[in-house]
Amino acid sequence: GPDYPDTMARWEPWVRRQVIGFELLSSLSFASAGTTANASGTVSAGANAVVRLIRPTPAMVRENQLPQVFGYADLRRDRASEIQAQISEFFPFFASLCHLHPERSRFTLELLTALRFVVVATQMRVKQALAMPRPVDYSQQIMPMIQTPGHSSFPSGHAVETFMFATVLAELVAGRETQLYPSSHPLHDQLTRLAARICVNRV
């Protein structure tokens, strides 16, 4: 074909990220069904569905989600500085856990940046289709401690991105971790717990 993969190493990092992002996005498609009150969306790669999401009903949100949001309010005081730091940039938390360095780990960082571009574009497309109101739209008692983003709430962007980081980083170190810890994978567990904590902080 017309591509010369060996030349990728010669390009600037931002070019490699764009090429990877384009290739991944080109392989995805999105289809939605239903009304905004009963909507679902499916992201597919080729003929295979990657994920299908169904929009929660307002009753489900009131009965199950709002109590959880109110329950997390108790964490605000202890985690305020952490929550503020994670508003737009939470990657340094992963970088410190995996000891990623801009020079030593440059290709890993390029890959994660390219994948983040893909998952943000994908999640925004799904958010647009499902148009899920945010908790503050259901109750004025929520009183967000950070600026409410200007897009819908489902799926959670922080959840999608942090678990992508955790999954990719765990895969990249899986072989080394198996050699060091044959019966367990402590870094994988730490990465997953960190992703979950960032998600809770966002709520």
> What pLDDT is stored for residue 50 in this prediction?
78
Band (pLDDT 50/70/90 cuts) for residue 164 is: very high
How confident is the model over 186-191, as a mean pLDDT? Answer: 86
CA gap 11, 129 in Å, rounded: 36
CA gap 189, 194 in Å, rounded: 9
The pTM for the full model equals: 0.80
CA gap 71, 154 in Å, rounded: 19
CA gap 167, 155 in Å, rounded: 17
pLDDT in tens, 16-34: 888 888 888 888 788 877 7
Q: Select, from the ranges 74-83, 87-96, 158-167, the one with the highest average predicted confidence (pLDDT).
A: 158-167
CA gap 63, 69 in Å, rounded: 11
How confident is the model over 183-191, as a mean pLDDT? Answer: 79
Terminal-to-terminal C-alpha distance of the chain = 47
β-partners of residue 30 are 43
